[in-house]
């Protein structure tokens, strides 16, 4: 049996606080100086990892709905997407404030020399309109275009992967894991789309 209105509210609040945990743990790590020899890197990579993880979770919800036939996963889609944006913002913030120490000089020198940083910035820019139009109000106002716009998340998933692949020195294990997950999640969508189109034409 599915939970009622109150039940869902409780579950949502629980998921919300669980999603904040990585943030809490990393901040605690900074305060207690537990982030190792290169705390900025730990913080920076930590936020980046979680941005990618929430992006994957967000992308998994529609396929779960398709496969199980249950509609409840969609209730969490906005929250997961916004958490991906939240962690991506922190990832960028650590880069600008701590890694570059807010130095425009350093930004001008380091960013153009780094294709992977440029790809990261592009990914963030792709996420901004998605977060900005995540409210119910915006959804209504944009009508059918809203869904089209939100599909930018597929592109963001791919640019995030490229960002990760380009920064790695030689061991591609981690980005390969994310690439596999994202390929499956986008692959299911393609399969569903193909089947629908095929059905449409056979009618």
| Size of site (CB under 8 A) for another protein | 27
From the list 6-14, 16-24, 39-47, 182-190, the region that binds another protein by CB under 8 A is 39-47
CA distance 126 to 88: 11
CA dihedral over 22, 27, 31, 35, signed as positive or negative:
positive
Report which of 52, 107, 116 is spatially closest to residue 81, judged by C-alpha positions: 52
Q: How far is the CB of 102 from another protein (least distance, A)?
A: 9
Contacts of 60 (CB under 8 A, 6+ apart): 73, 185
Compare residues 40 and 192 and give the one whose CB is closer to another protein.
40
Q: Is 36 in the site for another protein (CB under 8 A)?
A: yes
From the list 13-21, 65-73, 161-169, 193-201, the region that binds another protein by CB under 8 A is 161-169
Q: How far is the CB of 78 from another protein (least distance, A)?
A: 32
From the list 28-36, 69-77, 152-160, 188-196, the region that binds another protein by CB under 8 A is 28-36
CA distance 156 to 125: 9
Q: Is 37 in the site for another protein (CB under 8 A)?
A: yes
DSSP code for 35? S
Tell me, rounded to whole angstroms, the distance of Cα 181 from its chain centroid: 13
Q: Concatenated DSSP letters for 84-148?
A: HHHHHHHHHHIIIIIISTT-HHHHHHHTTT-HHHHHHHHHHHHHHHHHHT-SHHHHHHHTHHHHH
Q: How far is the CB of 172 from another protein (least distance, A)?
A: 9
Residues numbered 79-138 forming contacts with another protein, rule: CB under 8 A: 98-99, 101, 103, 106, 109-110, 113-117
Report which of 56, 18, 83 is spatially closest to residue 178, judged by C-alpha positions: 56
Compare residues 39 and 158 and give the one whose CB is closer to another protein.
39
CA distance 54 to 13: 16
Candidates 62, 166, 176, 192; binder of another protein (CB under 8 A) is 166
Candidates 169, 201, 202, 203; binder of another protein (CB under 8 A) is 169
Q: Is 155 in the site for another protein (CB under 8 A)?
A: no
Using CB under 8 A, list all residues that contact another protein: 30, 33, 36-41, 43, 98-99, 101, 103, 106, 109-110, 113-117, 166-167, 169-171, 173
């Amino acid at each position: 049996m599915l939970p009622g209105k109150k039940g869902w509210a409780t579950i949502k609040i629980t998921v919300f606080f669980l999603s904040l945990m990585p943030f809490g743990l990393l901040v605690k790590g900074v305060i207690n100086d537990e982030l190792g020899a290169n705390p900025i890197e730990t913080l920076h990579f930590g936020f980046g990892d979680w941005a990618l993880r929430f992006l994957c979770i967000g992308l998994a919800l529609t396929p779960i709905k398709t496969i199980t036939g249950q509609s409840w996963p969609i209730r969490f889609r906005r929250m997961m997407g916004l958490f991906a944006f939240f962690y991506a913002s922190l990832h960028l913030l650590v880069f600008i404030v701590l890694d570059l120490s807010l130095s425009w000089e350093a930004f001008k020198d380091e960013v153009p020399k780094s294709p992977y940083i440029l790809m990261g910035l592009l990914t963030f820019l792709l996420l901004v309109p998605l977060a900005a139009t995540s409210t119910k109000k915006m959804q209504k106002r944009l009508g059918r275009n809203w869904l089209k716009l939100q599909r930018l998340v597929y592109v963001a998933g791919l640019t995030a992967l490229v960002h990760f692949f380009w920064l790695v020195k030689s061991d591609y294990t981690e980005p390969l894991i994310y690439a596999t997950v994202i390929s499956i999640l986008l692959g299911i969508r393609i399969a569903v789309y193909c089947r629908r189109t095929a059905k449409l034409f056979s009618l």
